[in-house]
Amino acid sequence: MDHKSTFIKRFGDLVALLRFDPANDAAQDLALTASLAAVEHEPVEVEAGAEWSVAPAEFTLKSRLLARHVECIRVAAGAEAHELLALARALSHDSTPLPSTPTVQVEPVPLLAASGQVVSARSVEAGFQVAAPASEGRRGDRRLWEERRGSGRWRGTGGERRQVDDRRSSGERRLRLVAEQRGTIAQLLTALGRDVEDQAWESALLAALALVRLAPRVPSVERRTFEIRVRRALPRRVIDRFIDAAECDPVTRESATAILRFIGLDAAEALMDRLRQGDAIGVRGYYYDVIGGMPECYPMVAPLLTGREAHEVRHAVALLGRLGLAQGVAELEPLLDHRDERIRTAAVRALGEIHRGPAAEPLRRALHSHDPETRSAAADAIALWRGGVLALLLVAALRTERDRDVWHACISALGRVGSHETGEALATVALSPRKFLLLRGYSAWQRLAAVTALGLSGSASSRAMLERLSHEATGVVADAASRALRARSLRAG
């Protein structure tokens, strides 16, 4: 069955259901969906066939077209559901005016008046007065305006008439959507104001989230005004309540994050005021995540690096790492020599998160610091920075590092990088036992640590290196490699 036959059958079913079974919503939805699918890609033109000698069946589409004096209907490709539903409702009724839109056009049957002139059925339904006979009103052979049959093409008026080819900005459908959107925005703003006044913060959060999600669809010429209206509807006391809700209920954090980032600097200021009060254990990471997605907050964060309170400096360091801006490297590098150990290690880890900046030299310097904690933090940061492009620095550090904890941090960082080069370096460590009275080689615990790092790595190269160790190594190293391979197989299975 072609798309035209499908449309005639299913649209006729919709008209019949609306006329004889108006309460059957499920069947009406199915018929409407099938009708829309039939005209999704190709237009359809349905003629009533007024000159037929045999009347069609009562429940068919053509019978209703003849009953309503319709010559034909033309449905353009991609017609909207509300347009087809409006036409179906009108056809199911005996006197409801038939709608006509740019994509769904209705052409009435021309009727012969008593005076011998031709008028349209739509004019008769609308109650228009029939013009005078042609012999009285015509000048020569020209027809009067009232006698002329109107074109089936829809012609807009005023601002609804399309002037250019860009339908998104000036088309009649776009204007209708924009008008509906303005009404939705007004309703949401009213609901938000009412919820704020009633201190119904959960409902206010939902209304604000709906407005935020609506922002990308607002026309560009109106978007700035829309954003100002929404931000004015969310003063500081509302922002504080949204933050409280996010702190108490992790389920609402995603919604609150979208709203706070939309608000911008005012929300960032509220969050930073809470960070200044202390370490904010438990929700500190959430604050970092929210502000870290707002690059415009950098001018507010950088001045905290010179603060008197140590926790403020640590918060600023962590935020610069989350922001990931290249200019943050120059701000963090002087802190590698800070007297506070926690600030030094926080600065190193933040440098590992700034992939756009020139952090290679500061990380290299941190790996050779006199402080073991700083060197351990540098190993973690190097494994993270740009996917481990500086991993060879860790390989060199394995030969010279004497602190057990730092050495273990370096070997674990190599396992997390998971590249082919780091896998070969770990395999070399595992296959290099320390010889008696020689300075070369590694102790048993170091070689086992290398095998463990390979086992925890999920890369394909690490598996190949473990298989190599299970065959080439001896003693506890070979046993550890075999156990790591079995553990990987169990995780994969």
Considering only residues 291 and 49, tell me which one the structure prediction assigns the higher pLDDT: 291
> Per the domain annotation, does 429 fall within a domain?
no
> Per the domain annotation, does 338 fall within a domain?
no
Q: Of 4-13, 57-66, 195-204, where does mean pLDDT reach its minimum?
A: 57-66
Question: Based on the structure, what is the number of domains in the chain?
Answer: 2
Q: How many whole angstroms separate alpha carbon 185 and alpha carbon 189? A: 6
Q: How many whole angstroms separate alpha carbon 8 and alpha carbon 297? A: 60
Same domain (yes/no): 210, 106: no
Same domain (yes/no): 81, 181: no
Q: pLDDT digit string (tens) for 327-371? A: 999 999 999 999 999 999 999 999 999 998 899 999 999 999 999
Same domain (yes/no): 181, 109: no
Contact present, 50 and 109 (Cβ < 8 Å): yes
> Per the domain annotation, does 215 fall within a domain?
yes
Domain end, chosen from 113, 135, 157, is at 113
Closest Cα to residue 416, out of 375, 374, 462? 462
Domain end, chosen from 113, 141, 165, is at 113
> Per the domain annotation, does 223 fall within a domain?
yes
Predicted TM-score (pTM) of the model is: 0.63
> Per the domain annotation, does 466 fall within a domain?
no
Domain end, chosen from 69, 85, 113, is at 113
Q: How many whole angstroms separate alpha carbon 450 and alpha carbon 436? A: 21
> Per the domain annotation, does 229 fall within a domain?
yes
Three-state SS sequence of the chain: CCHHHHHHHHHHHHHHHHHHCCCCHHHHHHHHHHHHHHCCCCCEEEECCCCCCCCCCCCCHHHHHHHCCEEEEEECCCCCHHHHHHHHHHHHCCCCCCCCCCCEEEEECEEECCCCCEEEHHHHHHCCCCCCCHHHHCECCECCHHHCCCCCCCCCCHHHCCCCCCHHHHCHHHHHHHHHHHHHHHHHHHHHHHHHHCCCHHHHHHHHHHHHHHHHHCCHHHHHHHHHHHHHCCCHHHHHHHHHHHHHCHHHHHHHHHHHHHHCHHHHHHHHHHHHCCCCCCCHHHHHHHHHCCHHHHHHHHHHHHCCCHHHHHHHHHHHHHHCCCCHHHHHHHHHHCCCHHHHHHHHHHHHHCCCCCCHHHHHHHHCCCCHHHHHHHHHHHHHHHHCCCHHHHHHHHHHCCCHHHHHHHHHHHHHHCCHHHHHHHHHHHCCECCCCCCCCECHHHHHHHHHHHHHCCCHHHHHHHHHHHHHCCHHHHHHHHHHHHHHHHHHC
Measured over the CA atoms of residue 239, residue 242, residue 246 and residue 252, the dihedral's sign is negative
Contact present, 459 and 428 (Cβ < 8 Å): no
Same domain (yes/no): 106, 204: no
Same domain (yes/no): 105, 192: no
**pLDDT-derived band at 404, boundaries 50, 70, 90:** very high
Backbone φ/ψ region at 416: left (φ over 0), alpha (ψ -120 to 50), beta: alpha
Mean pLDDT for the stretch of residues 3-32: 86
Same domain (yes/no): 89, 182: no
Domain that residue 4 falls in: 1-113
Considering only residues 375 and 12, tell me which one the structure prediction assigns the higher pLDDT: 375
Q: Of 56-70, 239-253, 322-336, 395-409, where does mean pLDDT reach its minimum?
A: 56-70
Q: pLDDT digit string (tens) for 72-121? A: 899 998 888 888 998 999 888 888 888 888 889 998 876 544 444 444 44
Answer whether residue 55 shows pLDDT above 50.
Answer: no
> Per the domain annotation, does 103 fall within a domain?
yes
> Per the domain annotation, does 360 fall within a domain?
no
